[in-house]
Structure 1
């Protein structure tokens, strides 16, 4: 017979309850700017079901990667526990969004179910990211869930994408991204791109990325981390702009300009990913 003392460990359950509470705090911390952004409320019910589905499907492997990297629970055990953490984080993200948007009066009682699901789903990914990273962000230096310095080169690039997406989701829904791109000349766009690379390269050597070890090979570090990372940031920016319909009806030059504008905060988020995630 199964030993019930092994099935139920009060100390383990208390730890998990504490981690879960911290996950809600992380979800609120990460998603509050989005929860208070009017454009996200509207996109929740005007966004096409296809784009919303793609947004969720792309978000799932991202969340799984963050669960493997961190996870909100200390009870790690490989892919199985990472999957459970991912599902729990999604539930935390949805519940946090539902409570806050209800309190804000955004969720209308008589609204169609599709509208409510759309509004919650756009918010839940950011909330789930915060839930998974709560152990690192809210532990005050205690109970770290892993050793940050052990990330491989693909792992470093993955963290850059996560950092870029974190800031990109906060800005891509707003009209200002398109307005700024419209007001900029080709010189401004090129200068912003160069500035993004400079800031990104400076950050890489200050926040613990593996490229920090390559001071004796600055060109290799620039190519492998800064340039590769910025390329991923641009792709992430294009993806987020597409999700929110910011590329619809615009020419190639306008789309590139908007991507470079969004990639500016995205590059900072990517380069500071070790601090953000």
Structure 2
């Protein structure tokens, strides 16, 4: 009875890990388009036949991706029926996470017409779902791997910690720039800042931190074991996540200033809401950057 219960528990743990990995792959791949107003407009104006075509095309492409790899790690590849179920689940993850971010950014509200809701979610979920299906191809699953190949640091403990810390900071900044640099000069951030209530920014902060933590420490992507063995000054999962979030926010603020979306004469509240909104994609990029070091 105990063995059966343990096996059942392991199945659920594995399923949750797969869902987390798929969702994180979606965030890495789909977050830039979630900040693109043209996609919002296309979705809000799309007619039902176009929506059905988008869903069908997404299903076919994701099914083919799942036949080769998918967001689950199977020893013997995906059989057709497994690829079919994985495709349905990948689309469900994409739709759910896209809807969550659109709600978070107040692009969807209780007052939004149902047709517009369906259009925006459908079009935004397409790249997100591709990211779910590509999670293993792009980043791999090393949850059960070993620590071989771990980078060596200087033997001196103090120098080792400093080296690892600066390595993390550099990777966070680079990742944040890669993801958020194309978003910073656009009009999406001012538009979103005008629509998002101040209290709602707390939810955006929480989502940024949780997604960053999941990408680095829970999704089972490449080098995850090495991340837990990193010797940086802030190297505890929570403290590293918070420190990296603050670095990503600083990078977001600098990018907004660089593109003259913020100036030194602007009020601090404007700096705060613009930075927190760009901080979400910047933090996701920073998390991806840390996986690479």
TM-score of the superposed pair, with normalisation by structure 1: 0.47
TM-score of the superposed pair, with normalisation by structure 2: 0.45
